[in-house]
Structure 1
Amino acid sequence: MLIGVMSDTHDNLPAIRKAVELFNKEGVDLVIHCGDYVAPFVKKELSKLKAPLKGIFGNNDGEKEGLRQALGVEDEILELNVDGIKIAVLHGTDERIVRAFARSQLYDIVIRGHTHKYEIVEFGRTILLNPGEVGGYVSGIKSVAFIDTQKREIKILNLETGEPLGFMSL
């Protein structure tokens, strides 16, 4: 299965459109959003995804009821088991909680957002993945990640240039 991962879209509709186009072009089977959509009107672009969207709330998602209705967002933490790979998704506002999830070794991958900085870090048998930010407002770099459960690899790409920003084998 090919999973597209995005975070911190912050209402940037042109950047969201670009991410959706890339995910559709690559034929992802699932898209994970790590929070900070911000407002329900992002549905305009996210509804163009060909794959199902699963996501969690971020600290800037003030219109929670609207996001629930528009996108089906329900929780602040999401647990998935995809092709035998255990995944936890959280926004990551509290660094202690993020590190606790990673150090718990209960998951193969812990996916987080919030910092707007892309990274792939190993914690024992667990990989901590931050796809960076789609919005590009803080770091100036718009990025997304892909998890390929068959090839057992994770990669982060610059959304503007397609340039690889990070890679790790599972």
Structure 2
Amino acid sequence: MKIGLLSDTHKKVEYSRQVIDHLLAEGAEFLIHCGDIVKEEMLQQLKTCGKRYVAVYGNNDPHLAAVHNRYSLVQEPHYFKLAKTKFKLMHLPFYMAPDAQIVLFGHTHTFECDFKNGTLYLNPGEACARSKPVSECAMLEITDDTFGVTQYSRPLEEETFHARHFSFERESA
């Protein structure tokens, strides 16, 4: 299964749309937003993209509680199962215990991909290009044997995303 990951879109509606469109073009079957959505329009983009999705509140999202029931919006840490894999989704990297096979987070605006003791810790970076002139996202591909991660980054002066690949062997159940 291919899962598109984005985080920290903040007020950059255009960058959010570009990231979602890119992830869909790369075959994403499910989308996950790791928080700091900021604008309801980003949630609308996720809702209307034609794929299932989930988004977690970030520290800049309390005002979105007013529209909570319109979207697949969850509190952190949020545990769920997808592709026979246990996930923990959060925005703030405060609950980094290895109590899921995959721990997804945002907030730092920095791509992170670390596999420790059977747990994949993954931050897709910033879609908003606030800390650096690059918009980022990631694709997580889950198979029976591996977790594959592709980091995508697009310098703002370019139209295409660049890819970097990582692969980790899953522990047998």
Structure 1, gaps ≥5 residues long: none
Aligned 8 A contact 1:119 1:166 in 2: no
Over aligned residues, Cα RMSD in angstroms? 1.9
Aligned positions of 1:151-166 closer than 5 A: 152-160=147-155, 161-166=160-165
Cα distance in structure 2, aligned partners of 1:132 and 1:166: 15
Aligned positions of 1:42-121 closer than 5 A: 42-94=42-94, 97-98=95-96, 101=97, 104=98, 106-121=99-114
**TM-score normalised according to structure 1 size:** 0.85
Larger proportion of strand: 2
Cα distance in structure 1, aligned partners of 2:9 and 2:48: 15
Aligned 8 A contact 1:145 1:157 in 2: yes
Aligned 8 A contact 1:31 1:53 in 2: yes
Change (3 A) 1:116 1:166: farther
3-state secondary structure, aligned to 2:88: strand
Task: Give the C-alpha shift of residue 141 in structure 1.
Answer: 2.1
Structure 2, gaps ≥5 residues long: none
**TM-score normalised according to structure 2 size:** 0.84
Change (3 A) 1:158 1:74: same
Which whole-Å deviations, capped at 9, do the CAs of 1:131-163 have from their partners, x for residues lacking one?
A: 001111113321111111126311111145321
Which whole-Å deviations, capped at 9, do the CAs of 1:103-125 have from their partners, x for residues lacking one?
A: x3x32211110000001012211
Equivalence for 1:168:
167
Change (3 A) 1:121 1:92: same
Cα distance in structure 1, aligned partners of 2:93 and 2:117: 22
Equivalence for 2:142:
149
- Identical aligned residues as a percent: 25
Change (3 A) 1:129 1:22: same
Task: Give the C-alpha shift of residue 53 in structure 1.
Answer: 1.4
Task: Give the C-alpha shift of residue 37 in structure 1.
Answer: 0.4
Which amino acid letter does the alignment assign opposite residue 76 of structure 2? E
3-state secondary structure, aligned to 2:18: helix
Aligned length, in residue pairs: 163
